[in-house]
């Protein structure tokens, strides 16, 4: 979560991505048919839907590769398709489609953010291709020479730049080995090293660096603190599962799953996935801290409140995704949910540090302990879901969609458990002395200085290019889709939370890709609704109206 100060930056309007749809081929009977969606700024295809191939008994991979080979003129990636892609994942979705996700490659090197997701139906018919590809890389002169820089040199450049930006050298907790990628720098393809640096001091960060592999120039650097990388995991102590009682941050009574042995009661829940673990940082800035241990299995002290809520709300978020979307933890494979409370002193933030949740206690004025908000916890854990599905780049429009998806599901989880639900974000833990205040309003983003229409989007460089600010556009669309209303003269018929959550979950997990912008987001959401309810359904009409209402056409 970011402070309200960050959320009230001034807005400006400028040109950005827009898109047009055109049916390029529609044939009767059993012939193929296609509808192509083109991004008007990049002039690149970002979505094709229809009956794209004839029925086949070939593997989904072969069906997709054959289709892409036929579309060389459209995508301009070369005819040797198998050499230009790497299969990232293949699995059947809940509707029975075989979902194949492909990473674009160039001479064995991944193209940063260039991923497509495809769907093949049970008859072996390719029905969709979603995502943009980098065209004509063979004509990019910067790629004629390979990397001139060593990995160690690139890492040193990133560390030096980070030290300059922070004002002091960070205490690195985790540093991934630099990966060579092809990076499009304002349309020019370059070899670059992708480097990720995680640290907690002097302030928490998870920085993505892209260093020119020839010149050593810093091409890109941004904080992606929300991104989730599965940890190595922790081991639960031996003991017996138990049920404890306790009081949360707001003094409300709760029951929670614990583990007891001769030492006492641990905040360990072994009933969900591979476990939920809650730790105490004891006001230090180290994670995970000490596994929470209580003497009598009753968590009623004031100091216990932050831990009680972190533990219970992590479990509820797990249950929401499992019971509503059949997703086993954020990664779909039962990943452990690890939380640390009482982080730092008067720390006004909560974040996913790359492998676990971390919660500050707040200063008592701007925030109270941030784990006291169910929507806050569901928001942060949804970032982990996003990272293991669409992997939306945490910058500019893709980052704004990333933030909004977390707001949407943070709110939907709050409604699912009837936890004083509303369309406000962080209202339970933000400015306790101000009644009705919140970090963001999805019903009216302008209350916090955020845009409620694409024409009013922020186009500056602060806030990673407006990831929290421009989330207001999607937030308003989601609110209108669920509740209905008239906005900028466009009437939207509400379809309720249950259908809204199904549509946005399918959009996130099946169609969005790392570089999705608002244009691609719109067509992806329309397709998700089409899959679920039919092309001529009232639900699809409402999705279109909701995006029209916020100026995403």
Task: Give the DSSP per-residue string, 145-161.
Answer: S---S-HHHHHHHHHHH
Sequence-ordered list of residues with C-beta below 8 angstroms from that of 223, at least 6 positions apart, any chain? 205, 206, 207, 208, 394, 464
Pairing assessment for the beta strands 357-360 and 337-343 based on DSSP bridges: parallel
Angle between the N-to-C axes of helices 374-387 and 396-416, in degrees from 0 to 180, rounded to the nearest 10: 130
Closest C-alpha among 59, 71, 87, 62 to residue 34: 71
**165: helix, strand or coil:** helix
In this structure, the chain runs to a length of 553
The residues that bridge with 367 in the sheet, in sequence order, are: 430
CA–CA separation, 486 and 28 (whole Å): 38
Q: Where in the sequence numbering do the catalytic residues fall?
A: 380, 468
CA–CA separation, 359 and 258 (whole Å): 20
CA atoms within 13 A on the CB side of 16: 23
CA–CA separation, 238 and 94 (whole Å): 37
Sign of CA dihedral 125, 128, 132, 136: positive
b (16+ CB within 10 A) / e for 402-414: bbbbbbbbbbbbb
CA–CA separation, 351 and 116 (whole Å): 29
Omega of the bond prior to 65 within 30 degrees of 0, cis? no
Structure tokens at 42: 């990049």
Closest C-alpha among 238, 245, 395 to residue 305: 245
Which parts of 274-304 fold into alpha helices (H)? none
CA–CA separation, 278 and 268 (whole Å): 7
Sequence-ordered list of residues with C-beta below 8 angstroms from that of 124, at least 6 positions apart, any chain? 53, 55, 56, 57, 58, 60, 63
């Amino acid at each position: 979560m970011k402070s309200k100060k960050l959320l009230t930056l001034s807005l400006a309007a400028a040109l950005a991505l827009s898109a047009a749809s055109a049916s390029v081929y529609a044939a009767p009977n059993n012939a193929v048919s296609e509808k192509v969606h083109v991004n008007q700024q990049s002039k690149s295809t970002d979505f094709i839907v229809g009956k794209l191939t004839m029925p086949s008994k070939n593997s989904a991979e072969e069906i997709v590769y054959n289709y892409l080979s036929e579309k060389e003129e459209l995508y301009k990636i070369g005819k040797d398709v198998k050499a230009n892609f790497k299969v990232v994942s293949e699995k059947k979705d809940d509707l029975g489609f075989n979902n194949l996700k492909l990473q674009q490659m160039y001479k064995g090197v991944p193209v940063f953010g260039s991923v497509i997701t495809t769907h093949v139906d049970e008859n072996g018919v390719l029905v969709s291709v979603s995502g943009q590809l980098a065209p004509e890389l063979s004509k990019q002169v910067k790629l004629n020479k390979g990397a001139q820089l060593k990995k160690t040199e690139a890492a040193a450049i990133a560390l030096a730049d980070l030290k300059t930006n922070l004002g002091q050298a960070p205490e690195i907790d985790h540093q991934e080995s630099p990966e060579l990628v092809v990076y499009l720098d304002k349309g020019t393809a370059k070899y670059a090293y992708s480097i990720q640096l995680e640290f907690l001091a002097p302030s928490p960060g998870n920085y993505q660096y892209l260093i020119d592999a020839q010149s050593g120039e810093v091409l890109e650097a941004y904080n992606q603190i929300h991104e989730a990388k599965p940890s190595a995991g922790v081991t639960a102590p031996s003991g017996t599962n138990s049920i404890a009682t306790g009081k949360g941050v707001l003094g409300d009574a709760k029951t929670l799953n614990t583990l007891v042995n001769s030492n006492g009661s641990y905040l360990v829940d072994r009933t969900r996935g591979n476990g939920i673990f809650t730790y105490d940082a004891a006001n230090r800035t180290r994670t995970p801290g000490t596994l929470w241990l209580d003497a009598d299995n009753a968590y009623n002290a004031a100091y216990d409140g932050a831990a009680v809520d972190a533990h219970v709300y992590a479990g509820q978020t797990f249950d929401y995704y499992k019971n509503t979307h059949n997703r086993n933890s954020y990664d779909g494979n039962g990943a452990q949910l690890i939380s640390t409370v009482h982080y730092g002193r008067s720390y006004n933030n909560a974040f996913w540090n790359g492998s676990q949740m971390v919660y500050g206690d707040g200063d008592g004025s701007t925030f109270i302990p941030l784990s006291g908000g169910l929507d806050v916890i569901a928001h942060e854990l949804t970032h982990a879901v996003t990272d293991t599905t669409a992997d939306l780049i945490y910058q500019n429009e893709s980052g704004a969609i990333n933030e909004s998806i977390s707001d949407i599901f943070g709110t939907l989880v709050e409604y699912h458990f009837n936890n004083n639900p509303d369309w406000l974000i962080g209202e339970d833990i933000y400015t306790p002395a101000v009644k009705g205040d919140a970090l963001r309003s999805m019903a009216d983003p302008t209350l916090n200085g955020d845009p409620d229409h694409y024409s009013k989007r922020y186009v500056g460089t602060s806030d990673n290019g407006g990831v929290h600010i421009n989330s207001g556009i999607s937030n308003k669309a989601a609110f209108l889709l669920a509740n209905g209303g008239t906005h900028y003269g466009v009437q939207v018929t509400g379809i309720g939370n249950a259908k809204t959550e199904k549509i946005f979950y399918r959009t996130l997990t099946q169609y969005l890709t790392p570089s999705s912008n608002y244009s691609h987001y719109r067509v992806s959401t329309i397709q998700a609704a089409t899959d679920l309810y039919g092309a001529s359904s009232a639900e699809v009409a409402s999705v279109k109206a909701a995006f029209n209402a916020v100026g995403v056409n």
